[in-house]
Amino acid sequence: MSSSLATWRLDCNRIGRMRPREPETTRPRRIFSLEFFAPRTPEGASRLQVACDGLSTLAPAYISVTCGTDDAAPERTCRAVETLRARLGPSTDLAPHLTCVGSSRHDMSRLLAAYRTLGVRHLVLIRGDLPPGVREYMGDLPHASDLVAFVRAETGDYFHIEVAAHPEFHPDALSADADLANFKRKTEGGATSALTQYFYNPDAYFRFVESCARLGVTLPIVPGIMPITNFERLSRFSESAGVEIPRWMRKRLEGFARDPESVRAFGIDVVSRLCERLLDNDAPGLHFYTMNTIEPTRTIWTQLGLEPEPAPP
């Protein structure tokens, strides 16, 4: 065990004291879900299977599977959905992501048909990241709102549609108001609910939800939760995604440079408290970005006592 002053020990007593949440009959059922990414290599595929086997105690409402923007990406996601379906059984709700960058309407129609054949009823519709230096995508479906409108026009109410929300605003947005207006467009096009980019500042989320409500956007906006395992990777990723790591967190994490156990313990502590605060303030669920490793999501999930909530009567 490290004897460094910076060592962070998980306060198990504190987390153990988190009170279990009683479902309230007046509020809609909360949705607790997970995200995996579609693996690119045989090693990645094995890792996904291991993660999958670690799910048994969690009972997520659904599992989403990301999709890249290269030509082979939809095929990879389809294969990952098939693997998860075979491993987890037909009753698990699987939600593949569809990205419109690099895809034509024709590609999308074929993909939608393939997912219907696989029994999928739930999609996450995303634009996808643009290649470095590209400011605007000029394909058939340039924005996620175009993809949502297209999927609704093609398939009616068949799919439950999730879209992305950015509580700290999308890095390319011209302004906060423009980004909110663009988010509203996606919801008006037929999104059922939204999943946010991850964040560590809950006030950004609360204010975003408030701003949406003022614009008449009232669909559930479920916080995306990124557990912390590797500070360097998180830092790089946050920079490109426009996510702020608060200074106090950054300083702590920098202090644990050669102490992965402290990073893990600190991450579980910070993320558990974040989740607790979100749920105490009526967040409609939590969506965990697992990065295809079930820990530390499983620890956070278990300590928070997340359980499927009964459907309203």
Residues that bind ligand FAD (CB under 6 A): 66-69, 97, 99, 124, 126-129, 143-145, 164, 170, 172-173, 178-179, 182, 186, 195, 197, 224
Active-site hit among 35, 162, 276, 309: 35
Nearest approach, Cβ of 277 to ligand FAD (angstroms)? 20
Nearer to ligand FAD, 186 or 298 (CB): 186
CB-wise, 128 or 202, nearer to ligand FAD?
128
Q: Based on CB atoms, which residue is closest to ligand FAD, 164 or 265?
A: 164
Residue (18 or 176) nearer to ligand FAD, CB: 176
Measure Cα distances from 139 to 13, 108, 149, 309 in Å: 53, 12, 15, 41
SS (H, E, C) the chain: CCCCCCCCCCCHHHHHCCCCCCCCCCCCCCEEEEEECCCCCHHHHHHHHHHHHCCCCCCCCCEEECCCCCCCHHHHHHHHHHHHHHHHCCCCCEEEEEECCCCCHHHHHHHHHHHHHCCCCEEEEECCCCCCCCCCCCCCCCCHHHHHHHHHHHHCCCCEEEEEECCCCCCCCCCHHHHHHHHHHHHHCCCCEEEEEECCCHHHHHHHHHHHHHCCCCCCEEEEECCCCCHHHHHHHHHHHCCCCCHHHHHHHHHCCCCHHHHHHHHHHHHHHHHHHHHHCCCCEEEEECCCCCCCHHHHHHHHCCCCCCCCC
Q: How near is the Cβ of 38 to ligand FAD at its closest, in Å? A: 8
Q: How far is the CB of 145 from ligand FAD (least distance, A)?
A: 5
Nearer to ligand FAD, 227 or 256 (CB): 227
Q: Which is nearer to ligand FAD, 7 or 211 (CB)?
A: 211
Q: Report the distance separating Cα 68 and Cα 44, nearest Å.
A: 15
Q: 198: closest CA among 186, 210, 208, 190?
A: 208
- Verify whether residue 188 is a known catalytic residue: no
Q: How far is the CB of 201 from ligand FAD (least distance, A)?
A: 16
Taking the complex as a whole, the smallest distance from the CB of residue 64 to ligand FAD amounts, in Å, to: 8
Q: How far is the CB of 229 from ligand FAD (least distance, A)?
A: 19
Q: Known catalytic residues?
A: 35
